[in-house]
Amino acid sequence: MSISQTITDFVTLAIQAGGWMELDRLYLQNRVLAMVGEETLESISPTIVTKTSLELLDELVTRAVENGTVKEKAADLEIFEAQLMDFLTPPPSVVNALFAQHYEKDPADATDYFFKLSQENDYIKTRAIAKNVVFPAETEYGQLEITINLSKPEKDPKQIAAERQVNQVDYPKCVLCMENEGYKGRTNYPARTNHRIIRMNLDGESWGFQYSPYAYYNEHSIILSEEHRPMVISKDTFRRLTRIIEVLPHYFVGSNADLPIVGGSILTHDHYQAGRHVFPMEKAEIEQYFELSEFPLMNAGIVKWPMSVIRLQSPNSEDLVEAASLILEKWHNYSDENVSIRAFSADGTSHHTITPIARRKGQLFELDLVLRDNNISAEYPDGIFHPHKEVQHIKKENIGLIEVMGLAVLPPRLNDELQEVEKYVLAKENQLADYHKEWADQMKETYSFNEKNAKEIIQKEVGQIFARVLADAGVYKRTPEGRAAFKRFIDSL
């Protein structure tokens, strides 16, 4: 395909996206022509475009590199690609207006529109996400989901060196701020020219709805406060979560905890994560019901899950908010030294919070409250309720919202390391990491490995380790002692 055909087709897609009109064609073609470093353009009549936006993007970038208008450095290419894809992305006002039009028909129709746009304009990095290794793992808690995250590009040494030379800038304040919308990016900050945010009003506050560029599950989205402020779990959190599932009833929404060790990776900006995905925890059933005397119409119970989860269900969202607030307040101040649960340090530091997840079940509102404790000890310096040393060869990072719900996000190193484990158990030449040896030897004693079953067995055992990771993070262990302690807390309500 000639570069003239590529530019013509690319501009056709830009017009079809809704931000431009046919009258803008010559203008757009000349803008793209200049960006890729060409001087002339053949006159080609627009036809049905047979290539995808990403295929056309690749052709434009290749020509720009050949012409020397963009360097082959990762950061430069990312900025250049986002600027090109900005032509395929209507301005924020138009995207919000189109979202509203679709929403009038059906909330799912609105998210379908925005999700498709965010994929086609390469804001959601679909090709990078496809590199992730994903597999299920059967456990006593049902089928957990495992993903080895290979989507985020590794920085090359040249880029790392270049970042050291860049002046530190505090604009935008973080990657979740509204100010990222349309931001060009820089050597040490992601390009966001093609980024759009749907505005939401949550009880009089301005919030934004967007998708995650490196999604871990279907329609992985982020709902963020316009104000750059720290995350806090409170009654307002529960009220916002129930409001969000009123607005987007086909999505779940949850929040990371607001404390280090048990919180997510970004605690400096108030935000939630949502999406169109049924996580393993949602499928887990209530194994023990209890009553909350103040809320006679509410279902309440303990979920069969390795972490300590209270599930509330009610047709009345305000009852759910009030009951969750009662549990949060009680948990904030609750200690049980018999099972190493301490609400406060001697200096008054608070250690208790909740990871909440909300969803709709027909006419019912459902809220899962996962009890969290970020205390440390001499025996467990990384966290008493954090993955313990014996499982850290697989997962040592914080157990945030996504893991809590049963989807393991494992580090990229495991992609190569598990291949070496496979070679080891098959008695092939290998470079097994020392920290996997004990585990690999245990598997060799347990199983008879061959070429056909080795990978499947290793993946199954990774799932078992992830279940243990979640159990480590659970404040009440699934033992007679732990169940009795959990009942003491429930009785205190």
Predicted confidence (pLDDT) at residue 267 exceeds the cutoff of 70: yes
Instruction: Find, among 431, 255, 442, the residue nearest to 355 by Cα.
Output: 255
List the domains of the chain with CATH numbers.
1-70 (no CATH), 134-170+200-407+476-492 (3.30.428)
Is the pTM higher than 0.75? yes
pLDDT digits over 435-490, tens only? 999 999 999 999 999 999 999 999 999 999 999 999 999 999 999 999 999 999 99
Query: How long is the chain?
Result: 493
Looking from the CA of 297 toward its CB, the CA atoms found within 13 Å total 9
Predicted confidence (pLDDT) at residue 262 exceeds the cutoff of 60: yes
Instruction: Find, among 187, 170, 194, the residue nearest to 86 by Cα.
Output: 194
pLDDT digits over 23-43, tens only? 999 999 999 999 999 999 999
Instruction: Find, among 384, 309, 308, 307, the residue nearest to 345 by Cα.
Output: 384
Q: Looking at the DSSP assignment, which residues form a beta bridge with residue 409?
A: 147
Contacts of 433 (CB under 8 A, 6+ apart): 393, 417, 420
DSSP-derived pairing of the beta strands 407-410 and 142-148: parallel
Q: Which pLDDT belongs to residue 339? A: 95
Q: Which pLDDT belongs to residue 1? A: 74
In the numeric block, the tokens 């993007």 are attached to 57
**Quick one: which H or E segment has residue 480?**
helix 480-492
Question: Based on C-alpha coordinates, what's the Rg of the chain?
Answer: 25
In terms of Cβ atoms closer than 10 Å to its own Cβ (0-12, 13-18, 19+), residue 408 is: buried
Q: Which pLDDT belongs to residue 383? A: 94
What is the distance between the alpha carbons of residues 87 and 81, in angstroms, rounded to a whole number? 10
Angle at 291 between CA 287 and CA 294, to 5 degrees: 150
Alpha helices in 68-194 (DSSP H): 74-86, 92-105, 107-120, 126-129, 157-165
Is the N-terminal amide bond of 172 cis, ω within 30° of 0? yes
Q: Which pLDDT belongs to residue 259? A: 94
What is the distance between the alpha carbons of residues 41 and 2, in angstroms, rounded to a whole number? 10
Structure tokens at 200: 């939401």
Q: Which pLDDT belongs to residue 188? A: 87
Contacts of 43 (CB under 8 A, 6+ apart): none
Instruction: Find, among 159, 365, 420, the residue nearest to 252 by Cα.
Output: 365
In terms of Cβ atoms closer than 10 Å to its own Cβ (0-12, 13-18, 19+), residue 199 is: middle
Q: Looking at the DSSP assignment, which residues form a beta bridge with residue 415?
A: none
Structure tokens at 119: 């994929």
What is the distance between the alpha carbons of residues 395 and 399, in angstroms, rounded to a whole number? 9
pLDDT digits over 146-160, tens only? 999 998 765 555 554
pLDDT digits over 345-380, tens only? 999 999 999 999 999 999 999 999 999 999 999 999
In the numeric block, the tokens 């040393």 are attached to 389
